[in-house]
Amino acid sequence: MTLADRSHMPDAERVVIKIGSSSLTGPDGRLDVQAVRALVDVIAARHLAGGQVVLVTSGSVAAGIDPLGLASRPRDLATAQAAASVGQGMLIARYSEAFAAHGLRSAQVLLTAEDTVRRGHYRNAQRSLERLLELGVVPIVNENDAVATNEIRFGDNDRLAALVSHLVRADAMILLTDVDGLYDGPPDRPGASQISVVNSPQEIEHIDIGGTGSAVGTGGMVTKIAAMSIATTSGIPTILTKATNVAGALAGEQVGTWFAVTGKRTTRRRLWLGHAARVRGRLVLDDGAVQAIKRGGASLLPAGITDVKGEFDAGDPVELVDPAGGVVARGLVAFDSTELPELIGRSTHWLRERLGEGYDREVVHRDDLVLARVRL
Ligand SMILES: Nc1ncnc2c1ncn2[C@@H]1O[C@H](COP(=O)(O)OP(=O)(O)O)[C@@H](O)[C@H]1O
Ligand SMILES: N[C@@H](CCC(=O)OP(=O)(O)O)C(=O)O
């Protein structure tokens, strides 16, 4: 099912709803139990009417601030992980109580982004989420902060929500935050106005998208746009709105910003490559190669590479960057970083003549390449 516009939201059978820290905390940064209850009332009503909801919730770090006696949200990874471990239990307890008041069961599912797309992990995550939904349980997902390492963690739940939406084949995703939609500039800037519908990521390329406006949120609008792009390019429409509008969003009212779908469901491998893989190095491309890659359908040949950065093995994910360092694409590289310096800038003819068969092949094959159409 592809929903054409927000008026069709009542038809969505399966919806992923993500709520950010900024909507779950009061002015003092503590968990706001009323906000949890208000959200659960709406999800429970949808559930009891036959709909399925997967909730992706932040708030564990915020919930851990008070019990640990911290003055504000910790910024160093180890303390944030400790706060998340203390806070996650409290967060889930509040949700379980609130769902129980409606006679519903909920379940805690802690995931890393890689769990949702990496071979061997994703099936387990998919199976358990499916089973929970079949059993009438509301899955409550958060990032597994205690084990997510600095390099692979997202630190924001926006992109995790998009990957979960793909995993459970959601009909729509709703991102709840502390602003009522996407604005054409920072919402506190005088004259900034809200955008109602976005039909393609290109429409919003020029707008000023900033970081977090709150003391507890992490990604700001940047990660929400990245999440929206993952979802809409894989066939899942997205609504961005403030938490108090969630009932209206589910009912198909004109709230928030609607991001229409721009593509079909993509493969798990390409999602992983584009959005969850840990990049091991960078290949710097000349202008000709940048144009060929951006046009789409081309593989990257040694002749178009001017520099190699980082240490990687054949098969690792790398970034393809333009001469100014802008990311053009991500791809799986076919050579080790130690082999590449003597190949780059050489024509396939030269490579075949001097080094023999096998060295004249693509450095990144087009099937192993994902364009960075929006900020990765
Ligand atoms: N163009 C924009 N439109 C809307 N919000 C924006 C924009 N640029 C920056 N923001 C900021 O993004 C914030 C939401 O992100 P964040 O604080 O991380 O929330 P959450 O905790 O819900 O993930 C808003 O409060 C707003 O200040
Ligand atoms: N997983 C952590 C961090 C996620 C987070 O704060 O993201 P967000 O508020 O959505 O920008 C938490 O639950 O606090």
Measure CA 314 to chain center: 26
Same domain, 199 and 110: yes
Q: What is the pTM of this model?
A: 0.84
User: pLDDT at position 155, please?
Assistant: 57
Whether the CB of 187 sits within 6 Å of ligand 1: yes
The 8-class DSSP code of residue 276 comes to I
Same domain, 361 and 247: no
User: pLDDT at position 375, please?
Assistant: 46
Asked if residue 224 lies in contact with residue 213, where contact means CB atoms within 8 angstroms, the answer is no
Angle, CA 108 vertex, CA 107 and CA 111 arms, to 5° = 135
What span, in angstroms and rounded, lies between the C-alpha atoms of 242 and 224? 13
Q: Report the mean per-residue pLDDT for the chain.
A: 89
Ligand-binding site membership of 177 (annotated): yes
Ligand 1: which residue has its CA nearest to atom 18?
220
Nearest ligand 2 atom to the CA of 63 is: 14
What span, in angstroms and rounded, lies between the C-alpha atoms of 109 and 103? 20
Same domain, 17 and 166: yes
297, burial (CB in 10 Å: exposed 0-12, middle 13-18, buried 19+): exposed
Same domain, 144 and 259: yes
pLDDT in tens, 135-173: 999 999 999 888 765 544 555 799 899 999 999 999 999
Looking at the domain assignment, is residue 299 inside a domain? yes
In terms of pLDDT, which residue wins out, 297 or 137?
137
185, burial (CB in 10 Å: exposed 0-12, middle 13-18, buried 19+): middle
- Name the helix (H) or strand (E) containing 230: helix 220-233
Same domain, 164 and 256: yes
Same domain, 21 and 146: yes
Ligand showing the shortest atom-to-Cα distance for residue 224:
1
The region of weakest confidence among 7-21, 39-53, 154-168 is 154-168
Looking at the domain assignment, is residue 302 inside a domain? yes
Question: For the residues 183-195, what does the mean pLDDT come to?
Answer: 90
Same domain, 155 and 186: yes
Which residues does residue 294 pair with via DSSP β-bridges, in sequence order?
none
User: pLDDT at position 153, please?
Assistant: 52
Same domain, 76 and 45: yes
Same domain, 234 and 298: no
What span, in angstroms and rounded, lies between the C-alpha atoms of 35 and 25? 8
CATH code of 365's domain: 2.30.130.10
Give Cα separations from 358 to 150, 151, 158, 246, 299 (angstroms). 37, 33, 42, 56, 15
Same domain, 12 and 53: yes
User: pLDDT at position 239, please?
Assistant: 98
Q: Which of 271, 296, 326 is the last residue before a domain boundary?
A: 271
Q: What letters, b where the CB count within 10 A reaches 16 and e where it falls short, cover 314-341?
A: eebbbbbbbeeeeebbbbbbbbebebbe
Nearest ligand 2 atom to the CA of 88 is: 13
Nearest ligand 1 atom to the CA of 184 is: 1
Ligand 1: which residue has its CA nearest to atom 14?
220
Looking at the domain assignment, is residue 250 inside a domain? yes
Looking at the domain assignment, is residue 1 inside a domain? no
Return the best residue to mutate from 143, 144, 152, 159 for the ligand 2 pocket (most ligand atoms within 8 A of CB). Answer: 143
Structure confidence at residue 312 as a pLDDT band (50, 70, 90) = very high
Looking at the domain assignment, is residue 112 inside a domain? yes
CATH code of 202's domain: 3.40.1160.10
Does the model's ipTM exceed the 0.90 cut?
yes
Looking at the domain assignment, is residue 376 inside a domain? no
Task: Please give the share of the chain, as a percent, with pLDDT higher than 90.
Answer: 62
Same domain, 301 and 249: no
Ligand-binding site membership of 363 (annotated): no
Nearest ligand 1 atom to the CA of 217 is: 21
Task: Please give the share of the chain, as a percent, with pLDDT higher than 70.
Answer: 94
What span, in angstroms and rounded, lies between the C-alpha atoms of 65 and 62? 5
Range of 311's domain?
Answer: 279-371
Same domain, 96 and 223: yes
Question: For the residues 45-57, what does the mean pLDDT come to?
Answer: 97
Task: Report CA dihedral (209, 213, 215, 221) to the nearest 10 degrees.
Answer: -30
Structural domain count, the chain: 2
Q: Which of 230, 248, 271 is the last residue before a domain boundary?
A: 271
| Beta strand 317-321 pairing with 305-310 | unpaired
Q: Which of 221, 247, 271 is the last residue before a domain boundary?
A: 271
Ligand-binding site membership of 286 (annotated): no
Looking at the domain assignment, is residue 218 inside a domain? yes
Ligand-binding site membership of 232 (annotated): no
Looking at the domain assignment, is residue 46 inside a domain? yes
Asked if residue 345 lies in contact with residue 302, where contact means CB atoms within 8 angstroms, the answer is yes
